[in-house]
């Protein structure tokens, strides 16, 4: 009896001492379905790594961006793992703010990461962030409305076809808009869509000497086409619509087509929330026959700041959260349809995933067709498909986004908006020293 008591006491003391020595890492992340799911599944990680405790900080996207930027720039050391996107990775890696992720373990299989995604998260061939989920953009359309309009959506449509179909599908009396596109101002909102669209029209933000190009005919063609199309076939108040607003419109059956993130496919095809779940078809983002499609490339990724004191524990967590085993864990608990998409080639070869996600092949094709290093028809000095990976882009992109949003709202003309965008870009690029 006494021996039992002593052993029990020793075990308890060991457990307490062990717990006290457990290393705690803080992970900053955004609130989206995949990230929330990961937080619920972390028991698997802590069971495999009992000496590491996880602390989560979930923030709204823009607040997260501001918080982690402040922390990493000042080496505050508040976070051990950060959720960042393809925009931040090349800029921060260049500043030596991130640790390279070249050793994520023998079983990690970094070669399985989709090449386009890996390219967007690398600098000089080194991976600086591990993708948690990746996305491109494509066309989601109502098959029933397309049939009613007497049209058949090709797998790779042109902008001309999209515009014609949108106008034919529009039925204002039934509250059906032929097409829903982003109009809300912001570098991650309307500018993400319009930059990708402009690429397919042959436009570019800057020439090889960093001279802004909004005064070129390609931009005029892009913006005029977009505004005419939205006037004829877009929803009312489109200048306030971002991803979530258009998602709601599409789910309520008020959009014939929607061109946006591939991740939206899982929302619009979910019968719990979507009234049109069984009527949705998918196609590649449109082109203009110039060799580039209007689709983007984005990945929410996990990176380790250079200032962390817990690099090894952080590395173990990143390897777990972005591994093939994690995808299988999600599939076993919540089904293949809920696996974070767009990161690993092997996922798209999995027949179970292909069956659970009818949009899988189209998603992969869209991701593969985006090239962050050669985003548009003409050569550019920057990296990024729907953004320009320079620190000044957040501010400049939002300014230009406001001008384009105002043009969509009818507050200014296309020429005025482009002239103001050109002036703002020249001013900012001169101030930042790109233009001598």
Catalog residues that contact other proteins under the rule CB under 8 A.
26, 28, 30-33, 36, 39-40, 55-61, 63, 66-67, 70-71, 73-79, 188, 243-244, 247-248, 251-252, 261, 263-264, 267, 273
Rounded to the nearest whole angstrom, what is the least distance from the CB of residue 33 to other proteins in the complex? 6
Give min distance, CB of 144 to other proteins, in A: 20
Single out the residue of 27, 77, 80 nearest to residue 57, CA to CA: 27
- In the bound state with other proteins, the residue whose beta carbon lies nearer, of 39 and 309, is 39
Structure tokens at 149: 């309009």
Q: How far is the CB of 316 from other proteins (least distance, A)?
A: 19
User: What residues does 134 pair with on adjacent strands?
Assistant: 299
Structure tokens at 169: 């599908």
The β-bridge relationship of strands 23-30 and 52-59 is: parallel
Distance CA 26, CA 240 (A): 35
Residue with smaller CB distance to other proteins, 14 or 55: 55
Q: CB 308 → other proteins: shortest distance, Å?
A: 13
Q: How far apart are CA 239 and CA 375, in angstroms?
A: 26
CB of 416 to other proteins, least distance (A): 30
For 200, counting Cβ atoms within 10 Å of its Cβ (0-12 exposed, 13-18 middle, 19+ buried), the class is buried
Shortest Å distance, C-beta 323 to other proteins: 23
53-73 residues labelled b (16+ CB within 10 A) or e (exposed): ebeeeebeeeebbebbbebbe
SS3 417: helix
Instruction: Please answer whether residues 136 and 196 qualify as being in contact, where contact means their C-beta atoms are separated by less than 8 angstroms.
Output: no
Residue for token digits 């800029």?
Answer: 91
DSSP state, 269?
Answer: T
Lookup result for tokens 């802004």: 212
> Of 225 and 300, which has the nearer Cβ to other proteins?
300
Nearest to 162 by CA among 288, 279, 247: 288
Q: Which is nearer to other proteins, 103 or 270 (CB)?
A: 270
Nearer Cβ to other proteins (31/95): 31
Question: What is the Cα–Cα distance from 28 to 14, expressed in whole angstroms?
Answer: 31
Residue with tokens 């930059």: 195
Burial class from Cβ neighbours inside 10 Å (0-12, 13-18, 19+) for residue 164 reads middle
- Residue 371, both tokens: 């090239």
Dist CA 295 CA 198 (whole Å):
10
Residue 377 and residue 41: Cα distance in Å, rounded? 43
> Closest separation between CB of residue 423 and other proteins, Å?
26
What is the rounded CA–CA span in Å between residue 278 and residue 163? 24
Distance between CA atoms of residues 114 and 131, nearest Å: 9
8 Å CB contact between 330 and 37 = yes
| CB nearer other proteins, residue 188 or residue 235 | 188
| Beta bridge pairs of residue 209 | none
Report the nearest approach of other proteins to the CB of residue 39 (Å). Answer: 7
Query: Which of 77, 381 has the CB closer to other proteins?
Result: 77
Toward other proteins, which CB reaches closer, 83 or 323? 83
Q: Closest CB to other proteins among 212 and 305?
A: 305
Q: Nearest distance from residue 64's CB to other proteins, in Å?
A: 9
Min CB(32)–other proteins separation in Å: 5
Nearer to other proteins among residue 52 and residue 380 (C-beta) = 52
- Closer to other proteins by Cβ: residue 54 or 407: 54
Q: Which is nearer to other proteins, 95 or 244 (CB)?
A: 244
In whole angstroms, the minimum distance from the beta carbon of 341 to other proteins comes to 12
CA 294 – CA 202 distance, rounded (Å): 10
Least separation, in Å, of the C-beta of 198 and other proteins? 22
CA dihedral 206, 207, 210, 216 (to 10 degrees): -60
């Amino acid at each position: 009896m006494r021996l039992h008591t002593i052993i029990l006491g020793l075990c308890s003391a060991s457990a307490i001492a062990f717990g006290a020595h457990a290393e705690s890492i803080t992970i900053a992340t955004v609130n989206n379905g995949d990230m929330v799911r990961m937080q619920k599944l972390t028991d698997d990680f802590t069971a495999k790594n009992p000496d590491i405790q996880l602390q989560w900080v979930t923030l709204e996207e823009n607040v997260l961006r501001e918080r982690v930027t402040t922390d990493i720039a000042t080496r505050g050391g508040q976070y051990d793992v950060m959720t960042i996107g393809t925009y931040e990775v090349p800029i921060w890696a260049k500043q030596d703010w991130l640790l390279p992720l070249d050793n994520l373990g023998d079983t990690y299989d970094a070669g399985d990461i989709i090449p386009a995604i890996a390219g967007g998260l690398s600098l000089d061939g080194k991976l600086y962030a591990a993708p948690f989920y990746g996305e491109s953009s494509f066309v989601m359309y109502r098959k029933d409305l397309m049939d009613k309009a007497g049209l058949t959506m090709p797998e790779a449509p042109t902008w001309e076809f999209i515009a014609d179909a949108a106008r034919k599908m529009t039925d204002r009396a039934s509250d059906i808009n032929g097409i829903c596109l982003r109009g809300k101002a912001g570098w991650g909102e309307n500018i993400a869509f319009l930059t990708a669209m402009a690429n397919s029209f042959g436009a570019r933000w800057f020439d090889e000497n960093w001279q802004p190009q909004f005064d070129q005919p390609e931009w005029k063609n892009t913006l005029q086409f977009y505004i005419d199309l939205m006037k004829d076939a877009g929803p009312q108040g489109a200048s306030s619509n971002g991803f979530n607003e258009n998602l709601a419109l599409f789910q309520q059956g008020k959009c014939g087509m929607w061109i946006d993130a591939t991740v939206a496919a899982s929302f619009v095809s979910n019968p719990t929330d979507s009234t049109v779940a069984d009527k949705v078809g998918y196609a590649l983002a449109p082109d203009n026959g110039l060799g580039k499609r209007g689709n983007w490339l984005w990945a929410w990724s996990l990176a380790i700041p250079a200032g962390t004191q817990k690099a090894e524990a952080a590395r173990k967590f990143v390897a777990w959260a972005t591994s093939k085993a994690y995808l299988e864990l999600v599939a076993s608990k919540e089904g293949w349809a809920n696996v974070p998409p767009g990161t690993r080639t092997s996922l798209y070869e999995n027949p179970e995933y292909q069956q659970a996600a009818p949009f899988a092949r189209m998603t992969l094709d869209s991701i593969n067709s985006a090239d962050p290093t050669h985003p548009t028809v003409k050569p550019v000095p920057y990296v990024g498909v729907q953004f320009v990976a320079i620190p000044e882009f957040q501010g400049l992109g939002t300014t230009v986004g406001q001008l384009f949003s105002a043009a969509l709202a009818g507050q200014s003309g296309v020429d005025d908006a482009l002239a103001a965008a050109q002036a703002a870009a020249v001013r900012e690029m001169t101030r930042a020293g790109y233009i001598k």
